[in-house]
Structure 1
Amino acid sequence: MYLAQAFKVKHDFWRYVIGSIAVIGVNFVAQIPFIIAIVFKDGFSGLSVSDESDLLNILDSNTTLFLILLPFAASLIALYFVVKYLHKQSWRSVTTSRKKIDWKRVFFAFGLWAVVTVILTFIDYYSSPEDYVWNFKFVPFLILFIIAVIFIPLQTSLEEYLFRGYLMQGFGTLFRNKWIPLIMTSLIFGGLHYFNPEVAKLGNTIMIYYIGTGFFLGIMTLMDEGMELALGYHAANNLITALLVTADWTVFRTHSLLRDVSEPVLGFDVFIPVFVIFPTILFIFSRKYKWTNWKDKLFGKVEEPVEEIILGEE
């Protein structure tokens, strides 16, 4: 059982509190280079520091992307040491219930969603070409590609290990059920996206998508007894999007192939991923990996494993 594995290590909940604070602290410290770069570039002259949209436009987009991804890489390293030394837990056991990390699952989820994302993007491009401009420039795109391929998987992995791994296991041992960890990690994950510039542009309704994504990834993790599928999906979602299309109102403003110049309007389409696409992907995974017993895996108890006593041994 994926969540129950945490009972085998140091799982006092105060450790999860301290560990989370440590990871957040490292994240804030790693943001200092971005702040310094902005000060040297602009000096904040005439700039409202609270205006994230302005902050993201001060530096070259590749430099900005690198500097906003750097704290995630640093935080992932911090989380690794928290897991290893504060909880005395292996990285494998916070990743999966299997004997080793199933990289085939990671790559399958990555490939599936990468292909779907490319297809959906170019369908939209050819159906509404007036909404896009060709943005490709070889050298900036090459730099973007290198930064994105290295750092975006670290960013998405940090989010998955923190929410679907570390905190989900921590809440599992605290509440000894599965549905409260699922709800709490999904709400926290979605809530942290409230500060994305997309929310300011599109309104609070977009939070349905972010929180729904948290539930989608959490369900995926609980049903599959591991994070591999969530790791692959999340990496594909952010990486392929960063390389394919950008817009002036998104958190990732990149030298991508396309730039969306349409005026964004949030309508019924916010519900399509949550209520159509996500269930479809879960269905595909459930068929491929033969998921069963949904009720117990999503709403059952998290029980401390009983160690077997072998007769004849002290």
Structure 2
Amino acid sequence: MYIEQGYKGFSEGWRYVVGLLIIFFGWQILGGIPLVAALLLKSDSMMNMPTDYGAMANTLGLNLFFLLVLLTFVAAMGSLWVVIRFLHKQSFTSFTTSRKKVDWKRILFAFGLWGIVSSVMVVLDIYLSPENYVFNFKPMPFFVLFVISIIFVPIQTSFEEYFTRGYLMQGIGIGSKTKWLPFVISSSLFGLLHIFNPEVEKLGYGILVFYIGTGFFLGILTLMDEGLELPLGFHAANNLFTALLVTADWTAFHTNSIYKDVSDPVLGWDVLVPVFVFYPILILIFSKKYGWENWKERLFGKVLTKEEFVALTDGDSDLA
């Protein structure tokens, strides 16, 4: 009963509205101050500040730009933590999982599994299409990138999971008393949040199939496994290994990675393979490992009322 974990704190509708305002203020306003300030210092005026990812990265340097982008998510995560702990008065454990404590083995299993698969995919593509890549490794810049990535990328990916499949999933589910509605909305919104990524400008809106498909995949993991552990591990591995292994001038991550993709970006089969091949296989692996059952009820069933939840859990609540 992951969605019902929201009942373990204050779950009135107005709190979610206020919470969203606080989160967006921290994410978009406070979090952006260091990046804007750094760009202003490098520019003659605000009118001459670079606005696209590539220009900003060239102006500030790859590692500094990457760090400042990730700091926006540190501010966002801090704002979300304040909202959960002080506005909803909910523990972060119940916000993360329906289990009595966070299952770190689940996080590490998803992280390791997708880390291996995604790395093999990158290495295989480099082997099959060496003309599309240049060896970009520089020891000191890469070491700095590695430290930045290990510390801050998990914060960035965790915020996206906690916000879409945590805050929105629980809030919309409690409000609608359905599971399908928060499942569809949070998964679609996750994809649409990437609409301003430079990849969309280069490849077109067709790339949103990948982002939205990933959102639905992670939504299935959340509802079937009754917690965020698997999405947290998967998402961290995906972004971390991407940042370290390969970069391109037309992607959101401009980094001092080991390889650089210099090919002309084309929307092709490689966008569809993860969504329609790898994700179903991963779902099968997770379902077998963790014994998932009652798919229809877990994905499309009704959300209990607060009274039903309290009666079922014998009054177990963060507010008790």
- 2 CA distance for matches of 1:10 and 1:85? 10
- Look up the SS of the partner of 1:126 in the other structure: helix
Match of 1:162 in 2: 163
Match of 2:317 in 1: none
Change in 2 beyond 3 A, CA 1:248/1:127: same
Question: Does the alignment pair 1:307 with 2:311?
Answer: yes
Contact 2:30/2:75, CA 8 A, preserved across alignment:
no
Question: Does the alignment pair 1:141 with 2:145?
Answer: no
Q: CA shift at 1:308, angstroms?
A: 6.1
Change in 2 beyond 3 A, CA 1:45/1:79: closer
Question: Does the alignment pair 1:263 with 2:267?
Answer: no
> Number of residue pairs matched?
310
| 4+ aligned runs moved over 3 Å, structure 1 | 44-53
- 1 CA distance for matches of 2:195 and 2:116? 28
Q: Which moved more, 1:2-11 or 1:207-216?
A: 2-11
Identity across matched positions, percent = 53
- Look up the SS of the partner of 1:101 in the other structure: coil
Question: Does the alignment pair 1:129 with 2:133?
Answer: no
Question: Aligned partner of 2:194: which letter?
Answer: H
- Look up the SS of the partner of 2:187 in the other structure: helix
The normalised TM-score by structure 1 is: 0.95
Q: CA shift at 1:81, angstroms?
A: 1.3
Match of 2:96 in 1: 95
- 2 CA distance for matches of 1:143 and 1:196? 24
Question: Aligned partner of 1:127: which letter?
Answer: L
Deviations 1:106-158 (Å, cap 9, x if unpaired)?
Answer: 00000000011111111111111111111010000000000000000000000
Q: Which runs of 5+ in 1 are unaligned?
A: none
- Look up the SS of the partner of 1:194 in the other structure: coil
Question: Does the alignment pair 1:19 with 2:19?
Answer: yes
- 2 CA distance for matches of 1:206 and 1:44? 34
Deviations 1:155-201 (Å, cap 9, x if unpaired)?
Answer: 00001111111110011100111110011111211111001111001
Change in 2 beyond 3 A, CA 1:185/1:309: closer
Question: Aligned partner of 1:100: which letter?
Answer: K
- 2 CA distance for matches of 1:16 and 1:250? 33
The normalised TM-score by structure 2 is: 0.93
Contact 1:38/1:44, CA 8 A, preserved across alignment:
no
Q: Which runs of 5+ in 2 are unaligned?
A: 315-320
- 2 CA distance for matches of 1:164 and 1:208? 18
- Look up the SS of the partner of 1:214 in the other structure: helix
Contact 1:75/1:158, CA 8 A, preserved across alignment:
yes
- 2 CA distance for matches of 1:38 and 1:80? 28
Deviations 1:62-91 (Å, cap 9, x if unpaired)?
Answer: 000000000101111111111011111000
1:70-109 counterparts in 2 under 5 A? Answer: 70-109=71-110
